Structures are given as C-alpha cells and as structure tokens.
Amino acid sequence: MPENNALQGLCQGMLEAWKIYGNPKAAILFVIEDVTYNICDQRFHEFEIRKQNPHVKVIRRTLTDIGDRGSLTSENELIIDNHVVSIIYFRAGYEPGHYPSKKEWDARLLMERSQAIKSPSIQYHLAGTKKVQQALSKSGVIEMFLTEAKKIEAIKDIFTGLYGLDFDEFGDQAVQMALDNPDRDSQKILVNKQVGHMLRTKISTANEGGVAAGLGALDSPYLID
C-alpha cells in the first residue's frame, strides 16, 4: 500500500500550535455541523491527536453551541463549557447555510475575537473564496497592499482571470466572453502531476459517489503484484 501520512502530519501541526498557545490544560475545538456526514474523518483526527499526545482534550461543538455557551475572558481567552480553547479547527462555517441565525454569526465573531489559534484563519478562509480572489485581481487592488512595482507585476503575472456572473455590466461581459471564445487556450491542462491519492468506493447500484451525500465512502487501495 502506498505511503500516505496526511493524517499524522495534520494532527502534528495542530499539536504544534497547541504547544505555542502555551496552556497545557487548553482544549482543541472542532467546529462541526448539526449533522456531520464526515464523522469518521473527524474522529480519525481526534484519535490521532490523542495517540500523539493523550493529554490534549478535543471537544466538538456546533456554531449554535458556541453561540449559546461560548464566552471570552478579560484576556480574550475563548471559554466553552468550562474549557479554555487553544485551537479552533473549522469543519463547518464555510457556507451561508451554516449560519441560519444571528446566533451563529455572533459565535463566529466571538471566535475571531478570541486569542485561540484558528485553522483556517479568517484571512485564509476569505482568500479561498472565488469572490475575494476576483476582487483582489481587479485593477488597483493589489496596489493597496504593495508598493514595489516588481512585486506587484510578479503577482499579477499569475492571475488567470476571474470573472463574476453577477447581474451587472461585468457579469454580462463575462458571459459574452465565454460565448465568444468557447475553445480558448486557458481550458487546457498545463501541469498535471500525481502527488497523492484519494479513493472513494460505492455500491454498484448507486449512480453517484458523494461521501457527504451518504452514497460513497473514503477507502484505501490494496496493491498486489
């Protein structure tokens, strides 16, 4: 079976951050959905953390739980159910549906105001959204953060072009551009490397294989000669 140590490496990273926080009694918080389909994946992380350091406690709470029972100390330490939280590992909170009311938004603000280490940070979270990436690629935006012309040009050189589909002038231009150039070169694969693997399996009668949809499962290959 090919070597694949992603789980161990990810958990080691969280434990390194836990050490940096500097409170040996602090817990690691997993922010989860009300109904968690990836429970096995999350539990593997929890078990691996316990394996690497049995003294570190992992707690699992929804955004609603945090909104109901979370608080900050005078030093902005995050407290949930009498646990000091050192690391916040977001397994929920990535889409608007995860925030059904003001309580969940307040919970997110509470966590962001805390001194707990976030994975990901709000900057990385937002930078991963296409809308923010599109905004950063607009003319004049990079210049708000950088002043060196060479650095600005180097960053702009990797922009591929991000176009919104909003119902406005720019959205209409993007749609027309796609219609006018359906076979443009940017659709070709330029770099393709295999750097790891992920295997999903499903029953033969299922037309789809989505893990989150409950139709598939993450699996491991068994190689034979």
**What pLDDT, in 10s, does the model give residues 56-72?**
999 999 999 999 999 99
Same domain, residue pair 165 and 71: no
Q: Is residue 203 part of a domain?
A: no
**Omega within 30 of 0 (cis) for the link into 120:** yes
Considering the domain architecture, whether residues 95 and 146 belong to the same structural domain is answered as no
At how many degrees (to 10) do helices 6-21 and 39-52 cross?
60
Tell me: pLDDT of 187 over 80. no
Under a CB-based contact definition with an 8 Å cutoff, are residues 91 and 29 in contact? Answer: no
E strand residue ranges, 3-158: 27-32, 58-62, 70-72, 78-80, 83-90, 117-119
For residues 18-26, average pLDDT: 98
Considering the domain architecture, whether residues 14 and 110 belong to the same structural domain is answered as yes
Per the structure, how many domains does the chain have? 2
Same domain, 18 and 108: yes
Can you give the pTM of this predicted structure? 0.72
Please give the structure tokens belonging to residue 28.
């690691």
In terms of domains, do 70 and 140 share one?
Answer: no
Q: Which residue type is seen at 1?
A: M
Same-domain check for residues 150 and 164: yes
Same domain, 162 and 61: no
Residue 146 lies in a domain: yes
26, 90: one domain: yes
Same domain, 180 and 117: no
Q: Which of 211 and 134 is assigned the larger pLDDT?
A: 134
Q: Find the domain containing 176 and state its range.
A: 130-187
